[in-house]
Amino acid sequence: MKTIDELLSEGVAGKRVFVRADLNVPLDGTTITDDGRIRAVLPTVEALAGAGARVVVASHLGRPKGAPDPAFSLAPAAARLGELLGADVAFATDTVGESATATVAGLADGQVAVIENLRFNAGETSKDDAERGAFADRLAALADVYVGDGFGAVHRKHASVFDLPARLPHYAGYLIATEVGVLRKLTDDVRRPYVVALGGAKVSDKLAVIDELLGKADRILIGGGMAYTFLKAQGHEIGTSLLQEDQLAAVREYLERAEKNGVELVVPVDTLVAAEFPDMKTKAPADPATVAADAMPAGQMGLDIGPETRKLYASKLADAATVFWNGPMGVFEHPDYAEGTRAVAQALVDSPGFTVVGGGDSAAAVRTLGFDENAFGHISTGGGASLEYLEGKTLPGLAALED
């Protein structure tokens, strides 16, 4: 895989460089609530522009249905990129049409443009190779060189991620090079004890990575909504908590295999419960109760790990040489259910080992809860991509960058 440093050494002045970034930021209307993904691509964009390239930044945002939708416009992301660069950033109001063609043609050396949301064109996400290829051909006409730096999308077989690199000289940007280097430390050269903390809502989202980690991790800590399927699999009452009943057999098998393999698979010993899900608009006080995980009332739902579990998980993380965390421990967006996630984040901060926050909601949580990002070994920009890499899958966007 060639890197951007090799590209820069070859010279990029005057060349149109297509940077596939991940500007898929959360929005409240047109206000960006977390610009972490934009900041993550800055080193690549700054290096290229500083060397005289004409930089064309492209990304998706959200899940529009193959047609323009103002709610998913990249205009706010383009404006924020300009603020962070301290320079004007041109914005094309389409992907491969008149606006994109004219905007790119109007770039001078060292200038940057952002084209509109790639998913406004159905060819970007099409499962039909020909349709994707046709869109990739039109994107290729906008550039001389391709730089892949959207790690959050490399697990997608999409036109701008998979098909376009085959049509242009291609290189990995700084972000992708960093992300791959970190993930190799979690797979190829792991320092032990290796502890993994997994949360989030659905156990089905984590089954494949748990399956892989049962042969690699020393401890796996389970939290979030998925924990209640584990508790149910152990025979406990879980009230109205989130349950994936169709996953119970798989979870029981994992519990048995963990014991057989000598892997500590740790589930909550207590939990915060309430009669209903909290009001996420007003964030009104929820007044939860703390109960033992094996004594949940029938009419209550679990919404965060309890204080004893927080202490337990902190102790399990304290001596870790390597930590990977993906998924919050509870409904962290509500202050009454944020302490479990905060406790795990703090345990990573306190850990002397190499700590990785695996993107997605975990990355959002550490920012929302006010942690210094530099206190962690690495905060990934791609939760789904990180998980699939750890599962041992071939990621289309990384394969496309190989020579």
Q: What is the pLDDT of residues 327-349, one digit of tens each?
A: 999 999 999 999 999 999 999 99
Active-site residue 80, yes or no?
no
pLDDT value, residue 146: 98
Residue 181: the pLDDT is 94
| pLDDT of the residue at 385 | 92
Q: What band does 287 get if pLDDT is binned at 50, 70 and 90? A: confident
Identify the pLDDT of residue 185.
92
* Model confidence band, residue 403 (pLDDT cutoffs 50, 70, 90): confident
pLDDT over 90 (residue 172): yes
Report residue 124's pLDDT band, with 50, 70 and 90 as the boundaries.
Answer: very high
Q: Please, are residues 275 and 287 in contact by the beta-carbon 8 Å criterion?
A: no
Active-site choice (138, 185, 202, 311):
202
| The predicted structure's pLDDT at residue 174 | 98
Judge whether 200 and 224 are in contact, CB under 8 Å: yes
pLDDT bracket for residue 8 (50, 70, 90): very high
Nearest to residue 116, comparing CAs of 90, 148, 132, 92? 92
From 200, 353, 358, 384, active-site residue: 384
Is the model's pLDDT at 361 over the cut of 90?
A: no
Give start and end residues of each alpha helix (H) in 51-159: 75-85, 98-105, 129-140
Whether 140 shows a pLDDT value over 90: the answer reads yes
Tell me the mean pLDDT in the region 244-264.
96
Which among 117, 126, 135 has a CA at the least distance from the CA of 57?
117
Look up 37 and say whether it is catalytic: yes
Q: Among 360, 382, 383, 397, which one carries the catalytic annotation?
A: 360
pTM above 0.85?
A: yes
Could you tell me which of 182, 204, 175 has the C-alpha nearest to residue 386?
Answer: 182
Using the predicted structure, report yes or no on whether residue 266 has a pLDDT greater than 90.
yes
Q: How confident is the model at residue 294 (pLDDT cuts 50, 70, 90)?
A: very high
Rounded percentage of the chain residues whose pLDDT exceeds 70? 100
Chain centre distance of CA 383: 3
- Alpha-carbon span 50 to 37, nearest angstrom: 20
pLDDT in tens, 175-201: 999 999 999 999 988 999 999 999 998
pLDDT on residue 193: 97
The pLDDT, as a whole number, for residue 59 is 98
* Mean per-residue pLDDT over the chain, rounded: 96
Q: Which of 299, 179, 202, 290 is nearest to 251 (CA)?
A: 202
Q: Copy the structure tokens of residue 314.
A: 């902190």
pLDDT at residue 360 in the model: 81
pLDDT of residue 202: 86
Over residues 80-96, the mean pLDDT reads 98
pLDDT at 210 over 90: yes
Q: Is 225 tagged catalytic?
A: no
Q: Is pLDDT at 319 greater than 80 in this prediction?
A: yes
Q: pLDDT tier at 264 (50, 70, 90 boundaries)? A: very high
Q: How far apart are CA 326 and CA 173, in angstroms?
A: 24
**Model confidence at 359: pLDDT above 80:** no
Q: What is the pLDDT of residues 11-68, one digit of tens each?
A: 999 999 999 999 999 999 999 988 989 999 999 999 999 999 999 999 999 999 999 9
Q: Which of the residues 15, 16, 37, 316 is marked catalytic?
A: 37
CA dihedral sign of residues 208, 223, 182, 316: negative
Active site residue 353: no
Residues 158-164, mean pLDDT to the nearest whole number: 98
Rg of the chain taking only CA atoms, in angstroms:
22
Q: Is 222 exposed, middle or buried (0-12, 13-18, 19+ CB in 10 A)?
A: buried
Position 70 scores a pLDDT of 96
* CA 58 from centre of chain: 18
